[in-house]
Amino acid sequence: MISVLVSLFLSLRTCLWSRAVLQLEVLALRHQLQVLNRSRPRRLRLVTADRLLWAWLSRSWIAWRTALVIVKPETVIAWHRQGFRLFWTWKSRRRVGRRAVAADVRALIRTMSEANPLWGAPRIHGELLKLGLDVSQATVAKYMGRRHRPPSQTWRTFLTNHAQQIAAADFFVVPTATC
């Protein structure tokens, strides 16, 4: 008697639904039957297309949980989250922008900057343009060799070199009549 009442209730419910919702439910139920027929002798085998279908149904159909029989709804939600993570991993790995500078051009920039320490990035950029290498000035500045020592002597070196002159200039005072 209870099964008859449940069947009657489900029939009444389907009468009130729209045609698109009924088509989605039919699609979901037929898909589950195909999965069960496909993996009949052994345990349940789901392929990527099955997971994608259920992830799509969970996003586009409100009552998708009522038609789900072969797996738990939490499993479908986990599939959807995994697909979302894969999508953003793929999207973030795409490198858009300038192409990489060739290794020989980088070596040439470094060699030119080390051989000519007074040349800056604008000068090296101009020389590379004369050679037919189209590289931006910012790229040249990025790959120029860095100096390992300061461009001039440090304060400590200056003070040790000129300590005698500084002491003589600071401590020698000559009093005169006009001050």
The answer on 89 and 19 residing in a single domain is yes
Mean pLDDT of 85-106: 86
Residues 37 and 69 reside in one and the same domain:
yes
From 93, 114, 132, the end of a domain falls on: 93
3-class SS letters over 140-172:
HHHHCCCCCCCCCCCHHHHHHHCHHHHHHHHHC
Q: Cβ(79)–Cβ(46) under 8 Å?
A: no
pLDDT confidence bin for 111, thresholds 50/70/90: very high
Same domain for 63 and 27, yes or no, is yes
pTM of structure? 0.39
Q: What is the mean pLDDT of residues 130-151?
A: 86
Within 10 angstroms of residue 110's Cβ, the number of other Cβ atoms is 15
Share of the chain above pLDDT 90, in %: 22
Between 6-15, 47-56, 139-148, the lowest mean confidence (pLDDT) is in 6-15
Domain for residue 161, yes or no? no
CA distance 25 to 18: 11
Mean pLDDT for 103-124 is 92
Same domain, 80 and 115: no
Tell me the CA distances in angstroms from 64 to 12, 48, 87, 153, one per residue in order. 18, 19, 23, 76
Residue range(s) defining the domain that contains residue 120: 100-145
Q: Is the pLDDT of residue 115 over 80?
A: yes
Decide if 114 is inside a domain. yes
Count how many domains the chain has.
2
Instruction: Render 113-146 in DSSP notation, one character per residue.
Output: HHH-TT--HHHHHHHHHHTT----HHHHHHHSPP
Tell me, yes or no, whether 132 lies in a domain. yes
Residues 54 and 78 in one domain: yes
Contact 69, 32 (CB under 8 A): yes
- Give yes or no: residues 87 and 125 share one domain: no
Residue matched to tokens 């038609």: 67
Q: What is the CA radius of gyration of the chain?
A: 39
